[in-house]
Structure 1
């Protein structure tokens, strides 16, 4: 598990081997079963999470039981609930595995120490934050102004590999459309 992460760090940041080893050594490996939670809404997000392999989802469930998926996090990406993590307050979202997943965790104090001690790692973290802000803005614009067909086309364009990994109900929950609408869109596309 650490080998994949170390390769990721070597290719994503200009880090010396000693720094890569230090970051890896402080990681807590965890194996998740399908649908296993890292934390639930109401709990505090206490860790930075790196997905070595597998797929996670960040979501909120309404009182009526409807799920709204904010984000999918595939292998070789990071995730967390930023507000809960930064402010150490209960989260409004849950993070759970969509499929069996291997992850690495760093407690907030440990991660902050790494950022202070390894400037190149801090630079990587800042670049990831910038990319995440850009991606979130693009997603919001698509969700707010796109038709269901445009939302689905954007999803396919950005995440072509997810179609075979996700049930339709999760894709619909991510797009903010009903499963009936998603089924209609897919049926129309297949007839073309």
Structure 2
């Protein structure tokens, strides 16, 4: 499990072998079963998590029980409720495995120590945060301004590999449209 993370760091950073080994040594491996929660609303997010294998979602629920998915995290990506993790306050969101997943966890104390010890990791972490911020801004604008068809087309363009891995109700919950609307859009595209 750790070797996938080490390969990721070798590919995306200029960290030395010793620095990569140090980061790996502080990681706690964990297997998640399908639908298993990594974080439940009301809990404090205690871990920064790297997805080695599998697919997770971050989502919130509303009073009627419906789910709104903020984002998906697949292989070689990070997942965390940043506000809960940084401020050590209860989370407003859930993080759950969509499929059986292998993840690596770092406590806040351990990850903060790594960032102090390895300045290059701090720089890489900041780049990831900026990229996430830009993507969130684009997603927010799209969700406010685009038609359901445009939202779906954007999803297909940016996440073609997720189409076969996600049930339609999760894609609809991510796009902020009803399953009926999503089915109509997909049907119309097939018939073109």
The residue that corresponds to 1:173 in the other structure is: 173
- Compute the displacement of 1:63 (Å): 1.7
Segments of structure 2 that go 5 or more residues without pairing to the other structure are none
Stretches of 4+ aligned residues off by more than 3 angstroms:
none
Give the whole-Å Cα distance in 2 for the aligned partners of 1:88 and 1:3. Answer: 30
**Distance in 1 between residues matched to 2:32 and 2:83, nearest whole Å:** 23
Structural mapping, 1:149-160, within 5 Å: 149-160=149-160
Which residue is 1:35 aligned to?
Answer: 35
Which digits, 9 at most, give the CA deviation of each residue in 1:13-66, with x for residues without a partner? 110000000000100000000000001001000100000010000000112110
The whole-number CA distance in structure 2 between the counterparts of 1:120 and 1:65 is 43
Matched, 1:102 2:102: yes
Which residue in 2 is equivalent to 1:136? Answer: 136
**Corresponding residue for 1:50?**
50
- 1:99 aligns to what SS in structure 2? coil
Superposed displacement of residue 123, structure 1: 0.7
Cα deviation code 1:103-154 (max 9, x no counterpart) = 0000001000000000011111001001000110110011000000000000
What is the RMSD computed on CA atoms of the aligned residues? 0.4
Q: How many residues align?
A: 192
Scaled by the length of structure 2, the TM-score of the pair is 0.99
SS at match of 1:20: helix
Any stretches of 5+ residues in structure 1 without a counterpart? none
Is 1:78 the counterpart of 2:85 in the alignment?
A: no
| 1:170 CA drift (Å) | 0.2
1:126 maps to: 126
Aligned partner of 1:17 in structure 2 is 17
Task: Give the superposition deviation at 1:74.
Answer: 0.5
Q: Could you tell me how far apart the structure 1 residues matched to 2:85 and 2:2 are?
A: 24
Partner of 1:189: 189
TM-score under structure 1 length normalisation: 0.99
Indicate the SS of the match to 2:181. Answer: helix
